[in-house]
Chains A and B, each alone.
Chain A
Amino acid sequence: MISAQLPALQVVVPLLAAPLCLILHRPFAAWLLTFVVSGISLLVSIALLGQILEQGVIDYTFGGWAAPFGIAYHIDFANAYVLLIVTAISTVVSIFAKRSVASEIEAHSQGLFYTAWLLCLTGLLGITITGDAFNLFVFLEISSLSSYVLIAMGNDRKALTAAYQYLIMGTIGATFILIGIGLLYMLTGTLNMLDMAQRLIAVADSRTARTGFAFLTVGLGLKIALFPLHLWLPNAYAYAPSAVSAFLAATATKVAVYVLLRFMFSVFGIDFALGAMPLSTMLVVLGSVAVLSASTVAIFQHNLKRMLAYSSIAQIGYLVLGVSLATPAGLTATLLHLFNHALMKGALFLALGCIAWRLGSVRLGDLGGLGYRMPWTMGVFVIGGLSLIGLPLTAGFISKWYLVLAAVERGWWPVVLVIIAGSLLAMIYVWRVIETAYLGKTKEAVSGTEAPLSMLVPAWLLAIANLYFGMHTELSAGIASQAAMVLFGGQP
């Protein structure tokens, strides 16, 4: 009986836990609830993936209203895969959050912090799992509003302006998405994505469809921080609490990329999205510029969280390049990089969280000699950094390899050059940190060494995952290619 209710439980458990967390209010109880609920969500998403492996897609209807009229969840490889990423990251980062949040956020706000965390998780899972376009918008707003709150809780006063900036940009993005969905609803008379896809075939060659597609793409471009629309991201990630930076960097933009893929491939269909509309050309140009410019800007950052934020924008560029290739191989590379990037950015931000916990700062100048004082923390950073560069035996290498192969397959050599140049630039900004930490001068009179175990263990979990998925690709690449097949089949 429970197995039939898993799709609803995936969203309902964190949704129900959020108000309970508000009632509990005590920091420890709120943290424990968040951790347990994240863990349950992870188990649910694993079980869902197992069900899909066994019996194919899962459909779930709410309130007993049949599919095109009621809200339906439709789960296939593509969203089960993203669900797994989101819940796994939330679980690992919530272990880390206990000590990190205790040091960065006042005790009386911690209950609210974890409530916002659970709501954000609810929203992200809801966006991913739903098969209803308007339901998707509602969950998008839940996750966005709660992430503005999470970012504003950073202990730097600049966190408030960063969150406000994100609020304005995010709201513009959400409005564009809503207008896009509205136009599609006007055209097709349905909000169910499967139904919409079928009805769109007949009316795709209309100005309304093209306008709706344009609105959706721009709105989602804002949410994924695609190159010219990325300005909200560096400050948001730099001034958010450490745990939030790790959580959002590894999940929020990934989910938005998934939504873009879902609309491009499952609703509009690849012929319309990348054939009739000039999106492929746009994505390849914007993606390349994102990789090169954001990586270059990252080199000149002194605040390491900001550096990683710019690096995230560059990684979004890789994701978009994979999509622009318009081949199953390219899409596989994108989906694989979603997973791998979540692992490496998670590990790197957790390492920075440990550093922030110890030093109270993540400025490059304060890191001198840290490699000897915090060897385990810097170990995570080195592994994450190597993965970011794309060195063999790390997860980053696998996704870059798939991406390069996909580009070669299409004969797009300039894209290959961009990818390699991006890796070289990544090498420079990662090396700056490693050089300072291992070869720089130690600052005098700094006491204390390693971060506590409850922070190191999750960081190392992600670091080891980076190495594991760099050598064993059956799980990550296997599911990614299945998901790419599903998306290419044109059936959500």
Chain B
Amino acid sequence: MRDNPVLRIVAKIIIPVILLFALYVQFHGDFGPGGGFQAGVIFAAGFILYGLVFGTEALRNAIPPGLLRFVIALGLVLYAGVGATTMLLGSDYLAYGALADDLIGGQHLGIFLVELGVGITVSAVTVTIFLAFAGRNDP
């Protein structure tokens, strides 16, 4: 597919939009439909499109497997870390109220960080699954 100029150019235009839309879904999760899981999958869809059009080799060059593994772990560390932080601040695990001076502010911050963690891990895992299946014949 990498010889098809229409596909290449459309993909190049559309991928940044997909990534931006993923971020919108991620950060708008507080107020409307959306959240970490959906955003993560949309974000990964941008990478998967890149991989489909330009080949898995190019995708691997863009995000090396070592980095992907790190990002998978990072999201979970962020999630569990928020819980551990509330514990260190003298509250129960994942009691977001402890994160800020007022309860509402703390809960906003807490859910924001936790959803971000979910989004990071989901997007990296989705790309990893894609690479695992699509890249089977690669050297």
Q: Please list the residues of chain A having a beta carbon within 8 angstroms of any beta carbon in chain B.
A: 1, 5, 8-9, 12, 15-16, 18-20, 22-23, 25, 60-64
Q: A61 to chain B: which residues have CB within 8 Å?
A: 92
* Contact (Cβ within 8 A) A19 B92: no
Given A5-B87, A16-B84, A23-B70, A64 contacting B76 (CB threshold 8 A) = no
B74 within 8 A of A: yes
Contacts of A64 in B (CB 8 A): 91-92, 95, 97
Asked if A5 contacts B93 (CB within 8 A), the reply is yes
> Can you give 18 A-B contacts (C-beta < 8 A)?
A1-B90, A12-B80, A12-B83, A15-B80, A16-B77, A16-B80, A19-B72, A19-B76, A19-B77, A20-B73, A22-B69, A22-B73, A23-B69, A23-B74, A23-B77, A62-B95, A64-B91, A64-B95
Q: Are B93 and A63 in contact, with the CB atoms below 8 A?
A: yes
Interface centre among A1, A18, A64 (most CB of B within 10 A): A64
A137 to B89, CA, bound (A): 30
| A-side contacts of B87, CB under 8 Å | 5, 8-9, 12
Of the residues A8, A20, A62, contact of B77 by C-beta under 8 Å: A20
Question: Nearest-CB distance from B124 to chain A (Å)?
Answer: 11
Tell me if B96 is interfacial: C-beta within 8 Å of chain A: yes
Assess the A62–B92 pair: CB atoms within 8 A: yes
Contacts of A20 in B (CB 8 A): 73, 77
**Residue B55 at the A interface, CB < 8 A?**
no
Give A308 to B123 CA distance when docked, in angstroms.
Answer: 42
Q: How far is A247 from B26 in the complex, measured between Cα atoms in Å?
A: 39
**Across-interface contacts of B73 in A (CB, < 8 A):** 19-20, 22-23
CB distance from B122 to the nearest CB of A (A): 14
Contact with A along B58-96 (1 / 0, CB 8 A): 000000000001101110110011011001001111111
A9 to B86, CA, bound (A): 12
Within 8 A of A (CB), among B90-124: 90-97
Question: How far is A221 from B76 in the complex, measured between Cα atoms in Å?
Answer: 32
Q: Assign chain B's interface to a size class.
A: 20 to 34
CB closest residue in chain A, given B76:
A19
Q: A19-B74, A19-B76, A61-B92 are in contact. List 11 more A-B contacts (CB 8 A).
A: A5-B87, A9-B87, A12-B80, A12-B83, A15-B80, A16-B81, A20-B77, A22-B69, A23-B73, A62-B94, A63-B96
- Cβ A60 vs Cβ B92 within 8 A: yes
User: Is the beta-carbon distance between B90 and A63 smaller than 8 angstroms?
Assistant: no
A63 touches B92 (CB 8 A): yes
B92–A8 touching, CB < 8 Å: yes
Residue numbers in B under 8 Å from A5 (CB-CB): 87, 92-93
Which chain A residues lie closer than 8 Å to B95 at the CB level?
A: 62-64
Q: Report the minimum CB–CB distance from A74 to chain B (whole Å).
A: 15
- Beta-carbon nearest neighbor of A112 in chain B: B69
Q: Which residue of A lies closest to B66 (CB)?
A: A25
Query: Closest approach, in angstroms, between the C-beta of A217 and any C-beta of chain B?
Result: 32
**Given A15-B80, A16-B80, A19-B76: A8 touches B93 (CB 8 Å cut-off):** yes
Closest residue of chain A to B96, judged by CB? Answer: A63
Q: How far is the CA of A64 from the CA of B89 in the complex (A)?
A: 14
Q: Is the CB of A63 within 8 A of B94?
A: yes
| Chain B residues within an 8 Å CB radius of A23 | 69-70, 73-74, 77
Separation in Å of the B37 CB from the closest CB of chain A? 14
